[in-house]
Structure 1
Amino acid sequence: MKRLIAIFAALLVLSVSSVAFAQKLVVAHDTNFKPFEFKQNGEYVGFDIDMWKEIAKRMNLDYDFQPMDFNGIIPGLQAGSIDAAVAGITIKPSRAEVVDFSDGYYDSGLVILVREDNNDIKDINDLKDKIVATKLATSSVDLAQQYVPKKNIKLFPNNDNMFMELMTGGADAVIFDMPVVKDFEAKAGKGMVKVVGPIYQGQAYGIAFPKGSKLVSGVNKALKEMKADGTYNELFIKWFGYAPAK
């Protein structure tokens, strides 16, 4: 009898665990955050996309991707209309108060981008009387507001418009996430723009969830396994062209 009870209890735990993730999850991602997520040949691709697919496979999760503007992601998680978000989201205290995060999966920071012929801007202290473009609802806005008057900050919902504003002379500089800026500098903006100054505000990206989500521990476990077995390194090299720092 005791053995039967133990078996029944184990089956019950397994059943409850399976039900917890039985529904199809809604996983949000940014629409324009190259090389983490972007549209190519009619579909969204990138480091974040591949990383989540691998995590979901290891956790046996059923999900649909939901592309959306970055500024709607945190509100969507708070409202419960999104189950997870993988969108190069900086882990910072103000966000951690309203959503839960996985362990950090990418170490980043903010940099300044200017046109190639600009020799006036050498670091962030040179921006006080300049027009600066950046992306709405990102940590770049927080940094810009410390050095630039609000009236001189132009906010855009996506990267393309932000970079276009710089290229067409509507802004003197862009402040944004280092990997995205470096990707633009090396590809679409090659020979026309340059990064100046150091990396500001070293920060980590994390996968975000509604408060109390039961997905967090499993995602963290999958991330650790991916780093241990080399899968993370393979994806990193695929999208960034070099191996992650040890």
Structure 2
Amino acid sequence: MRARFVLPALGAVAALLLTGCVDNSTPAPETSGAASSVTADDAAVALLPADVAASGTLSIGTDAAYPPNEYKDSAGAPIGWGIDLATAIAGKLGLDPDFQISKFDNIIPSIVGEKINIGESSFTVNAARMEQVDFVNYYESGIQWASATGTDVDPDNACGLRVAVQATTVQDTDEVPAKSDACVAAGLEPIEKLQFDTQDLATNAVVLGQADALSADSPVTFYAISQNDGDLQAAGETFDVTPYGIALAKGNGMAEAVQAALQSLVDDGTYDDILNEWGVADGGISTITINELAVG
């Protein structure tokens, strides 16, 4: 999921920290493929905060509702290429991954409150989020629209159309509203934004004819197209390419440790293997950075 853009107000953050944010009953994923054969990188391990190293586990917040990045299998365990990548990061750090499924908006407050070590949930890196947490960049994602096969839709000329989005994504909070406002300013019909709790419901709305198009992150849209038996097609080209980042608490050393782990995965080929296994290699990067807003 392209990173959800809206953040809780500071008062709401405090309330979330008090009420608890994660589901500790999350089943463990069954790791296979490239992520299952990762060995520890001593240089990355040496950068870990002492308390995390001593715990033996890396607690990872994810909302698991954004296939193919992060979602649930039939047993409720998290799967996806983001989950594989987080598992591989844990392996490079010599730790066991402990996934905790949470509502997306609760993950950053959980990191700030040190309830979890990292957040891996397709966070788009932006300045507002960086006021609260650090980000280790690991992927480049853009926005991609899709429509029903045989129905031509232009994302730059969508006035009056019904567009499905997943709630709290940047498409919901920023992209589609901005396009709709431009329509109104030009004296045209606004876009009717159809908001859904999960991406699969947004996708189904297009397949069932309830929406004219959907807008989502590029790997999510292309996965939806591949999974819907010819019922969906890409609408327009990918645009607004921005980084995904692993979210971490500021100033405790975790960002540097995760950066080293990810760079090790890039250097030994595991990173590319994971992306290729899931068909999302187009957004791969070769240099892992911290708190970079630009891509390329």
Category of TM-score, reference length = shorter chain: 0.7 to 0.9
Within 5 A, what are the aligned runs for 1:204-215? Answer: 204-215=243-254
Within 5 A, what are the aligned runs for 1:78-89? Answer: 78-89=112-123
Distance in 1 separating the partners of 2:103 and 2:142: 21
Structure 1 equivalent of residue 98 of structure 2: 64
Return the letter of the residue paired with 2:82.
D
Aligned-partner SS, 2:120: strand
Aligned-partner SS, 1:81: coil
Residue 30 of structure 1 and its aligned partner are, at CA, apart by 2.4
Structure 1 equivalent of residue 59 of structure 2: 26
Return the letter of the residue paired with 1:137.
T
Return the letter of the residue paired with 2:68.
P
Whether the 8 Å contact between 2:163 and 2:192 is mirrored in structure 1 is: yes
Residue 79 of structure 1 and its aligned partner are, at CA, apart by 4.1
Return the letter of the residue paired with 2:179.
Y
Larger CA deviation: 178-187 vs 17-26 = 17-26
Aligned CA RMSD, in angstroms, stands at 2.4
Whether the 8 Å contact between 1:22 and 1:62 is mirrored in structure 2 is: no
Any unmatched runs of 5+ in structure 1? 1-13
Structure 1 equivalent of residue 193 of structure 2: 153
Off by >4 Å, runs of 4+ in structure 1: 241-246
Match of residue 110, structure 2, among 52, 56, 76:
76
Whether the 8 Å contact between 1:105 and 1:204 is mirrored in structure 2 is: yes
Whether the 8 Å contact between 2:219 and 2:280 is mirrored in structure 1 is: no
Aligned-partner SS, 2:87: helix
Whether the 8 Å contact between 1:184 and 1:190 is mirrored in structure 2 is: no
Return the letter of the residue paired with 1:184.
A
Match of residue 202, structure 2, among 162, 170, 182:
162
Return the letter of the residue paired with 1:68.
S
Distance in 1 separating the partners of 2:100 and 2:59: 6
Whether the 8 Å contact between 2:205 and 2:211 is mirrored in structure 1 is: yes
Residue 18 of structure 1 and its aligned partner are, at CA, apart by 2.7
Instruction: Report Cα offsets for 1:87-113 as digits up to 9, x if no partner.
Output: 1111111211222111x2111100111
Whether the 8 Å contact between 1:134 and 1:162 is mirrored in structure 2 is: yes
Residue 179 of structure 1 and its aligned partner are, at CA, apart by 0.5
1:197 paired with 2:229, answer no
Within 5 A, what are the aligned runs for 1:75-224? Answer: 75-102=109-136, 104-119=137-152, 121-122=153-154, 124-141=155-172, 142-148=174-180, 152-187=192-227, 189-224=228-263
Whether the 8 Å contact between 1:35 and 1:240 is mirrored in structure 2 is: no
Any unmatched runs of 5+ in structure 2? 1-45, 182-189, 287-296
Q: 1:182 to 1:20 in 2, by over 3 A?
A: closer
Paired residue total = 228
TM (norm. structure 1) is 0.83
Structure 2 equivalent of residue 11 of structure 1: none
Aligned-partner SS, 2:116: coil
* Largest Rg, 1 or 2: 1
Residue 136 of structure 1 and its aligned partner are, at CA, apart by 1.7
Distance in 2 separating the partners of 1:87 and 1:143: 19
Percent identical residues: 26
Aligned-partner SS, 2:171: helix
Whether the 8 Å contact between 1:84 and 1:208 is mirrored in structure 2 is: yes
